[in-house]
Amino acid sequence: MKNEFIPYEEALALKELGFDEDVCGYFGKGNKLFIVTPEYNDVIKLLKAPLYQQAFRWFREECNLLHIINIDLSDNLKDKVYVYSIEDHLGSIVDRSEEFKTYEEAELACLKKLIEIVNQN
């Protein structure tokens, strides 16, 4: 379950960008992840730990940035690699990635790039 939540550094960056939605995870002392039920959102004063799904939805709805993570096959058609692309609300490509060995690496890199793009604007 822990892998469903974005890492501490990205959660902190999202907070600075204005992310303030209900979550079921929080980072406590030592960046330890705690999972709770949503009714505690109003009483817990720790750093919110959104799920990847929540973070990507927030970028889509609040920042008009869409992401896509795709499989690319290498020249020998055996090795899979993953790439991401980020588009604005008009479908214009804002960024494309290099290749990553795993989906999870591409997903985290995409999240970091979304944070960077919003920080620059």
CA distance 77 to 67: 25
How much is the pTM?
0.90
Q: What is the pLDDT of residue 87?
A: 97
CA distance 95 to 73: 20
Domains in the chain (CATH in brackets) are 1-50 (no CATH), 64-121 (3.30.160)
CA distance 59 to 118: 9
Beta-bridge partners for 70: 83
Query: Token match 């058609």: residue?
Result: 77
Give the pair of three-digit tokens for residue 63.
Answer: 């920042």
CA distance 110 to 100: 11
**8-55, pLDDT tens digit by residue?**
999 999 999 999 999 999 999 999 999 988 777 777 889 999 999 999
